[in-house]
Amino acid sequence: MTDIVDELKWRGLFALSTDENALRKALADGPVTFYCGFDPTAASLHVGHLVQVLTMRRLQQAGLRPLALVGGATGQIGDPRPTAERTLNDPETVGAWVTRLRSQIEPFLSFEGENAAVMVNNLDWTAGLSAIEFLRDIGKHFRVNKMLTKDSVARRLESQEGISYTEFSYQLLQGMDFLELYRRYGCTLQQGGSDQWGNLTAGLDLIHRLEPDAEAHCIATPLMVKADGTKFGKTEGGAVWLDPEMTTPYAFYQFWLNVDDRDVSTYLRILSFRSRAELEELEKQTEERPQARAAQRALAEELTTLVHGAGQTAAVIAASRALFGQGELAELDAATLGAALSELPRLQVAELGPVVTLFAEAGLVASKSAARRTVKEGGAYVNNVKVASEDAVPGEEDLLHGRWLVLRRGKKNLAAVELR
């Protein structure tokens, strides 16, 4: 198990540790139970959470025992954001989201064997706790001056909005989680992101105060930022979710396929389960032939398979190829085709008109005359079929699933027409 520290370091997953030497010794003595927490502040996890979920999987494969905490209690409060107060969701909504998040995490962990994973919910030990008991038994051991040093708290205090006592108390709740898991399961290691370091160590301090002989540790992964300085996991359309109804498998695949060359090696090391030799070979290919995008394809295929399954991955790859004339569009199922076309410029029409009009109105060319030149030069395609005549008018029999046409100019310029 001690090798896992070196593996995490090589992969860029070991940003912070409370005491690396002591952690290595604890791993050598083994076995070690660890936990990572996820708050149901939305109906789905996003790809930022995927870093933690896959790190849990990696630690379990190394022999550690994982506790996956979905916070039915902390999800009703929410970790303070640096900018503004969160909107509090009602307990019923949070409870439903707990179930959804659990179902997203469970497939990544094994619930069999000596280090079988356990799903836990901090509502189990907070629901029956009175405010007086919480303040006396937990709040007594926290120092406000130290709590004020947390980055998100400090930023909020400097803002006009300030911070409510509700969100300020979040540190106490997460700290109590580590203590309870230590007492209930012998959990001695907490894993999380480096932006959560203040919350991670709050629990460690609480354990040391109430269990003086206990040995416990915290490790944190780095905060991932794209090479262009924007936040990892964000697109123009918002977060990239794991729920297929919130981010389609096609869009999920495309997100990874379009990763910047400067980022792809970092993402592969952090998220992929390929061997070191395989990753180094992909890094070499990116350096020598970046236009082939071999690393991006490997990353997109592996992560889409992990999250959505091999069948969905095959479907989105087939859709990607078919859109660019390397497969049959008519063979794609309606859901996959619709998801693929949702990523393209889209023209909605009440009736089908001439091809040159459709090309111009879809924005593939500047005008109808430009569309006629494109047709004449052999660069206009409808459903991957070359348009032979400038006067061509698609019929309803040409519609894919009775609804769509796929327009293409040249090899790479695409648009969708939807008959309303």
> Domains of the chain (ranges plus CATH)?
3-221 (3.40.50.620), 224-342 (1.10.240.10), 344-420 (3.10.290.10)
Judged against a pLDDT cut of 90, whether residue 227 lies above it is answered with no
The pLDDT score that the predictor gives to residue 152 is 77
Q: What percent of the chain has pLDDT over 70?
A: 99
Q: Is residue 282 very low, low, confident or very high in pLDDT (cuts 50, 70, 90)?
A: very high
- Annotated binding-site residue? 285: no
Q: Is residue 2 very low, low, confident or very high in pLDDT (cuts 50, 70, 90)?
A: low
Segment among 1-10, 168-177, 257-266, 295-304 with least mean pLDDT: 1-10
Residues 288-307, mean pLDDT to the nearest whole number: 96
Pick from 336, 335, 361: nearest CA to 349: 361
pLDDT in tens, 96-109: 999 999 999 999 99
What is the Cα–Cα distance from 166 to 30, expressed in whole angstroms? 38
- Annotated binding-site residue? 254: no
pLDDT in tens, 69-101: 999 999 999 888 877 888 899 999 999 999 999
The pLDDT score that the predictor gives to residue 394 is 95
Read off the pTM. Answer: 0.90
Residues 6-13, mean pLDDT to the nearest whole number: 96
- Annotated binding-site residue? 226: no
Residues 300-325, mean pLDDT to the nearest whole number: 94
The pLDDT score that the predictor gives to residue 147 is 85
HSE of 100, CA atoms in CB hemisphere, 13 A: 21
The pLDDT score that the predictor gives to residue 86 is 86
Q: Copy the structure tokens of residue 313.
A: 């991955």
What is the Cα–Cα distance from 24 to 62, expressed in whole angstroms? 13
Pick from 209, 269, 245: nearest CA to 12: 269
The pLDDT score that the predictor gives to residue 241 is 96
What is the Cα–Cα distance from 237 to 39, expressed in whole angstroms? 22
Total Cβ atoms within 10 A of residue 184: 13
Mean of the per-residue pLDDT values for the chain? 93
Judged against a pLDDT cut of 90, whether residue 151 lies above it is answered with no
- Annotated binding-site residue? 174: yes
Q: What percent of the chain has pLDDT over 90?
A: 81
The residue type found at 282 is: L
